[in-house]
Structure 1
Amino acid sequence: MDDPVLLTGSEGRVGSAILGDLGSKYDWRLLDREPPTEEPSHEFFVADITDYDAVREAAEGAGAIVHLAGDPRPEAPWNSVLGNNIDGTHTILQVAADVGVERFVFASSNHAVGAYETEERTPDLYRDHDEFRLDGSELPRPSNLYGVSKAAGEILGRYYHDEFDISVACVRIGNLTEGHPPKDYERGQAMWLSYRDCAHLFDRCLAAEYGYEIVYGISDNDRKYYSIERAREVLGYDPQDNSAHHD
């Protein structure tokens, strides 16, 4: 992609993983509500994602938006997820439609489907012998209000795809950690996503051709209850890491 790519929430963990591997691959514009802690290597906008005019200034001429910004706390209260996550995502999508952005990549979350992890299914759900898989075609089943906000973002993306023909990919991110996956934590190993695979997956979201997709963001773990087959098939996702291969 030759056009600039706007990355919201660039100072967070997912933004660090993406920029760590893809910093020189795209013409990034970075947006965060706090100034950068170090001298930025790309054009940087300090703005709140609910500020339409500020977001529009950052998005003018962009070919794609990768939207990471929001309150990431699983225990976040309703007033925060409503403003930061739902209203903020709506603002970003409306800007995308108004300025002609062609592609929108949304950082959704495993919390959008966390309530599928019932007492009857766990802990076998997290073990490599279990065959239960979520593949992105199931209805949302949030485990907290943060998950509700991510499910709402997915639905907003569906509307803006249908109404404005924006290509939208929603990535239900698992357990992103730098370095080794968590030890002695079966759930974390089952949904582990390495920094390298995270960057690769978002790269494929920016490069592949699709309409509207929901995919899971995990590495190719032996333990898994999220299917990555849709990401492989549609996006060309080819993860290199596996939580079982780390001591």
Structure 2
Amino acid sequence: MDDTVLLTGAGGRVGTAILADLAAAYDWRLLDRDPPTDESAYPGEFVVADVNDEDAIRDAMDDVGAVIHLAGDPRPDAPWKSVLENNIDGTHTVMQAAVDAGVEKFVFASSNHAVGAYETDERTPDMYRPHDDFRLDGTELPRPKNVYGVSKATGETLGRYFHDMHDLSVVCVRIGNLTKDHPPKDYERGQAMWLSYRDCAHLFDRCLQADYDYEIVYGISDNDRKYYSIDRAREVLGYDPQDNSAEFADD
């Protein structure tokens, strides 16, 4: 990927993880609605804009070859008005601008919340433990249990639409529990869906480098505890995670 990569929501936690390892790997254009406190800390051009500002988003797409779309309201308890405006309308605005600009690849940051309702009382807590073989692999239908999850499932469907109708290559990454240092030692669910900063950067790097049509993959490290399968990410993207929450878990 030699063309510019547009990273929306660059100032957030996922953007921080990506740039920590990949700052020098791409020609970045970084977009966030909040101006950085220290612009020199970010690689490339920094654009201050809201994802619903159509003119600003279209300008930001100039000479862009790929988009990593992270921007949106990240709160699991976000109200409907906010997720509608920031997560659904905003994602549509960015995808439409990408198509109009001839962007080749679109990486959408989805979430574990898009499938949160699979964690039923009948399955938990066993599904968080190494002996359990229940796996979600990306072929299942979304089952959100909050409107934030609804917004992420809607983003996945928008990606399907823009791929089928406009031939945009789209990969949706259902991100697990991203933490900088280590997963919570006494929280089984957090260990099962842990994603390290290192593996996060590697996964999004593979999303930029690999060839695909439309994919939904899970973004977690190679944990002993897992109820998300990372087989599709390995097969299609060449994902090779290095970290495992078991290294940090209490006995």
Q: What TM-score do you get using the length of structure 2 for normalisation?
A: 0.98
1:99 maps to which residue? 101
1:207 maps to which residue? 209
Give the ranges of 4+ consecutive aligned residues of structure 1 lying more than 2 Å apart after TM superposition: none
Residues 232-243 of structure 1 mapped to structure 2, 5 A cutoff: 232-243=234-245
Shift of 1:42: 1.4
What is the distance in 2 between the residues matched to 1:156 and 1:41? 29
1:27 maps to which residue? 27
Shift of 1:41: 2.8
2:130 maps to which residue? 128
What is the distance in 2 between the residues matched to 1:201 and 1:180? 18
Identical pairs, percent: 77
SS in structure 1 opposite 2:107? strand
Shift of 1:246: 1.9
Shift of 1:245: 1.1
Residues 1-247 of structure 1 mapped to structure 2, 5 A cutoff: 1-39=1-39, 40-247=42-249
What is the distance in 1 between the residues matched to 2:186 and 2:221? 18
Shift of 1:183: 1.1
Shift of 1:37: 1.8
Q: Is the 8 A contact 2:185 2:248 kept in 1?
A: no
SS in structure 1 opposite 2:87? helix
Structure 2: any 5+ residue segments left out of the alignment?
none
Cα-to-partner distance string for 1:57-90 (whole Å, 9 max, x where unaligned): 1111100000000000000000000000000000
What is the distance in 1 between the residues matched to 2:204 and 2:51? 20
SS in structure 2 opposite 1:176? strand
Q: Is the 8 A contact 2:177 2:193 kept in 1?
A: yes
SS in structure 1 opposite 2:30? strand
What is the distance in 2 between the residues matched to 1:58 and 1:182? 38
What is the distance in 2 between the residues matched to 1:77 and 1:186? 28
What is the distance in 2 between the residues matched to 1:57 and 1:118? 45
